[in-house]
Amino acid sequence: MQSFPPQGKPQVDEPGAVPRESNAAVAPARDRAGRRRRAPVAEGAQRSADFITALARGLQVLRCFQAGSGALGNLELARLTGLPKATLSRITYTLTELGYLRYDRDSGRYAPGHGVLALGLGLLSGLEVRQLAKPAMQSLAQQTGGALALGTCDGDAMAYVEAIHGSSALYLRLPVGCRVSMDSAMGRAYLALLPPAARRDLLLRLGPLAPMPDVVDRCVADLAATGCCFAFGEWQSGINAAAAPFESATGEGIFVISCGGPATLLSEAVLRDEVAPVLQRTAQALSRPA
């Protein structure tokens, strides 16, 4: 199954000010270690009197803790979020008091607390489409030996809400919660399903991290012809994947079901001729009626 590093930061006049819009693609802002900063709180949001900036900033801090990020200190979090250090200190203190962060006195760093786990489990246990898709995913994983995943868009990446691995020989075993880029087969399928205007808006927000225009055009054509989008060795040599998007009949939004693995197991011909039709039928069965 493919995995890409998740997919700048609009110019802001003062802390808390509304970012100015720009039509030009800007390289993402990065901290001193070269890591990309999280998007500012207001990006893509329509500010109103009901928008609670303090709450949004707290959630922005929590989202800095991704797989492989390890524990983070206030200075690192300030660089990743762009928030003032004084504001950041109050946020981390509050989140620690509420159990959403854990503080290590020896290192002076924070890690996610058990409260975050409870939120994630609450989402997964209540996600009806996940339960509906699981039997078909298990069946296809057994048939192909590939890795099956169900995901949805989370800002600038696709997030796995279910993952089933058909073979213990798979060296790429991505778990629930993993985020893959919009240039993965799953991300391409999501983009291809969007209405043209919504697709253009998302590609503009992704900027240089968006798939190339010719790739997007090819995916739109593939979706129309086969119900699936593909990626053949474009993330890592020898890894192929197919993905089918659908708007869930449960009303929970747009999801993508994907199947991938080594090219020796899932060749382009196998994915197009055998796997794609099954993915398409599965997506249709889970889709909102036209």
| Dihedral of the alpha carbons of 175, 180, 186, 187, in degrees to the nearest 10 | 160
Give start and end residues of each alpha helix (H) in 67-160.
74-81, 85-97, 114-125, 128-144
Higher-confidence position of 195 and 7: 195
Query: Residue 179 pLDDT more than 50?
Result: yes
Residue 190, helix vs strand vs coil: helix
Query: Residue 223 pLDDT more than 90?
Result: yes
C-alpha–C-alpha distance, residues 261 and 145, integer Å: 8
C-alpha–C-alpha distance, residues 190 and 161, integer Å: 15
Q: What confidence tens digit (pLDDT) does each residue in 66-98 have? A: 877 789 999 999 999 999 999 999 999 999 999
Share of the chain above pLDDT 90, in %: 57
pLDDT at 37: 44
**Full-model pTM:** 0.72
Which residue, 169, 176, 164, 136, is CA-closest to 277?
136
Q: What confidence tens digit (pLDDT) does each residue in 122-177 have? A: 777 788 999 999 999 999 999 999 999 999 999 889 999 999 998 776 766 788 88
